[in-house]
């Protein structure tokens, strides 16, 4: 005797197959590496950035633009060896494809002016609305206390 599949059961089966296919496609999209370099002049905005790596090659992130500081909060003892900076930066893409905002938690060595940080993308516009990324930053002073080369390395999806 043949069993007939009820319409409700058939609909549920079709929905389950669709969701399984959609979930596997989303899980298949692996994060891609990104490398960003910025020569920052402390307490100014508008410096150029250059991005490279598989995330740029795949079109997930634009290759160049400018950076503006949106906010900076400093904590730690005034005469301490280190300061912690909570920084929010906006990366404006040169090709007008959009912007992405990066939040950083920076550890600044007050005597050497070297920095380390963790970062993550917290917002985006245009092509970068919904972009996710995180990574680490290393900052090397160019002119201590005046300028620093920030190098961001991380993963984007």
Q: What is the pLDDT along the chain (157 residues), one digit of tens a residue?
A: 555 555 554 444 444 444 444 444 445 579 999 999 999 999 899 999 999 999 999 999 999 999 999 999 999 887 899 999 999 999 999 999 999 999 999 999 999 999 999 999 999 999 999 999 999 999 999 999 999 999 999 999 9
In a domain, 93, yes or no: yes
- Contact criterion met (CB below 8 Å) for 66 and 40: no
Q: What is the value of pTM for the model shown?
A: 0.81
In a domain, 8, yes or no: no
Residue 139: which of 42, 68, 43 has the closest Cα? Answer: 42
What is the share, in percent, of the chain residues with pLDDT greater than 90?
A: 78
What CATH number corresponds to the domain at position 97?
Answer: 2.40.350
In a domain, 110, yes or no: yes
In a domain, 11, yes or no: no
Which residues are CB-neighbours of 11 under 8 A, at least 6 positions away? none
Residue 91 domain boundaries: 30-156
* Other Cβ atoms within 10 Å of 21 Cβ, number: 10
Distance, in Å, from the CA atom of 3 to the CA atom of 63, rounded to the nearest integer, reads 59
Which residues are CB-neighbours of 39 under 8 A, at least 6 positions away? 47, 48, 142, 147, 148, 149, 150
In a domain, 15, yes or no: no
Q: pLDDT digit string (tens) for 55-68?
A: 999 999 999 999 99
In a domain, 129, yes or no: yes
In a domain, 105, yes or no: yes
In a domain, 45, yes or no: yes
Q: Into how many domains does the chain fold?
A: 1
Q: pLDDT digit string (tens) for 90-111?
A: 999 999 999 999 999 999 999 9
């Amino acid at each position: 005797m043949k069993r007939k599949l009820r319409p409700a059961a058939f609909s549920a089966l079709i929905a389950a197959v669709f969701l399984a296919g959609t979930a596997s496609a989303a899980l298949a999209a692996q994060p891609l590496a990104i490398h960003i370099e910025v020569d920052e002049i402390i307490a100014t905005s508008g410096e150029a950035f250059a991005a490279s790596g598989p995330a740029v090659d795949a079109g997930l992130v634009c290759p160049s633009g400018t950076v503006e500081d949106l906010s900076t909060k400093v904590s730690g003892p005034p005469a301490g060896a280190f300061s912690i900076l909570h920084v929010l930066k906006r990366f404006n893409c040169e090709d007008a494809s959009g912007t992405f905002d990066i939040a950083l938690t920076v550890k600044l060595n007050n005597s050497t002016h070297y920095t380390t940080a963790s970062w993550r993308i917290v917002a985006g516009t245009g092509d970068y609305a919904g972009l996710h990324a995180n990574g680490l930053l290393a900052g090397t002073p160019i002119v201590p206390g005046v300028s620093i080369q920030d190098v961001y390395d991380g993963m984007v999806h």
